Amino acid sequence: MMKAAFIRVRLTALLALAVFLFVHFLFWGFPAVFQSWNSQIVDRMFVLRSAFPSFSPRYDSSVVHVDLSDRTIVALRNFYLTRSHYAQVVENLGAMGTAAQVWDYIFPGHTTPEEDRRFSEAVASSGNAYFGMKFTLSDDPPAAPLDPDLDYVRYLDSTAWHVQVEGNVDEMYHATSPIITLPDIARSSRGLGYLSLKFDRDGVFRKAPLMVRFGDRTYPSFAFRVACEYLGVSPDRIILSPGHSITLKGARKPGQAVQDVIIPIDEKANIVINWIGPWGTMLHYDFGDILRAADDRDEMDLLAEELMGKIVVVSEVATGSADVGPVPTDNNFPLSGLHANVIFSIISGQFVREIGAGWMILIEALVLATLVFLAGRLSSIWLSFSMVGVLVAYMILSTTAFLGGVIVDPLPATLMIVFGMLSILGYRFFDEQKNKEALRRSFEAYFPPTVVRRIMANPASITARGQKKELTIMFSDIKSFTTYSSTMAPDDIQRLLNEYFGAMVEIVFKYEGTV
């Protein structure tokens, strides 16, 4: 009995191990399916969280939007704005006392000399404007170095960052094929940062690379440069540890105490974006209202009161804008909102982080160990109920961890619970069927069919314990068998006995007796 129980436990453990390997094979062999499904479950957690403000990141309106929208175009009666219009908005936002005006634009080409001069002067006078640029994010280094005599290359070289590096940067993206805002305008601004992003396998934007490799240095993203300067952190106080974190030493948000900010990142320096909610969650102002405020002192004062000290993200969100994409909370989300969420996450210190692979394997092992433990002690029905309970408990754990800022992959362990339970129940079913068939064959030689059916329907009725019953025992003998058999051939004796025992067994089985 002990040996049989040990064999069952060992087979159950082997089934659990097979399920573990099978699920990891599915994620390794079909990542576009299973990794995407896992990410989409996490997306639903973001959506669910955004429906309950008490669980969402605390939004203090330190980051707001200024949108060039359809409303702007209608109000201004002008679809094509010139750099003079942009210059006026830059001046107005500077006059309103904004902490930073973050333009989700790239101005790569010249217009007229007068327009360019006007815009550059407005940017210089405001002293707090940032603009975008583009890199191609590549896993491989550039095929050839950039020409150092080009003006834009000299600008990039002068604004790249030297940060402290701890660990291996080989997995980080390389910056190639730059397209930047005009160097004259860039030099008048507070700085440029790349707007380039990478979407996941299913086309959804969930992460943002904060830094990329630029020669032997790094270049910051649009959002990361703004956040670091807002917190007063220079490049020499940044510690980059790929696969672990970026530490901003001595960061200080205006009005708060100095503290280090530790940003969780993966090996490519990606931050998991901590979405505070759909597009409308942050405060939004209209581009046209900011533009016209120069002609209305009361409007200027009112907007200055609301925008003073805030980071203002300026972008075009009018119909037809190409800078939109799917994110966990929206199918068509202006990507300026992505940069705004990254900025807000960093300056507020509110992050979500993916649990490490080692911890995830440990959790999966504990789930399967629970399955093996319960399988060794419970019947199939109770095992099914128990594993449903374990599944619900795991989903509650995963959701609770998410609300606490830790992403525990929901799908792998869920598949292990389901496949593990089905495989164990399937093994039990076939094993019980095999044992029942062997038992039935052994009983058929001694019991009538009706008794065998009752025994098979209720095997527990057979017990080795003593029972008190009234029984009738019949002894049957062939009179003078020795005398008769001595005169008969062996074949005749066998035929006679078969005929006799066949008739006797038929009568015994008729009355549900036992031979």
pLDDT at 4: 58
Beta bridge partners of 264: 245
Beta bridge partners of 285: 66
With a CB cutoff of 8 Å and minimum separation 6, the contacts of 93 are: 66, 101, 126, 128, 129, 290, 307, 312, 314
pLDDT tens-digit readout, 311-354: 999 999 988 777 899 999 999 999 999 999 999 999 999 999 99
pLDDT at 43: 93
380-403 helix and 31-50 helix, angle to the nearest 10 degrees: 60
410-444 helix and 2-29 helix, angle to the nearest 10 degrees: 140
pLDDT at 434: 66
Positions of the chain with pLDDT lower than 70, given as ranges:
1-6, 431-467, 469, 471, 480-481, 484, 505, 508-515
pLDDT at 467: 66
pLDDT at 500: 74
On the CB side of 308, CA atoms within 13 Å amount to: 7
C-alpha distances in angstroms, 40 versus 43, 202, 373, 379, 484?
5, 9, 31, 35, 88
pLDDT tens-digit readout, 180-215: 999 999 999 999 999 999 999 999 999 999 999 998
pLDDT at 310: 96
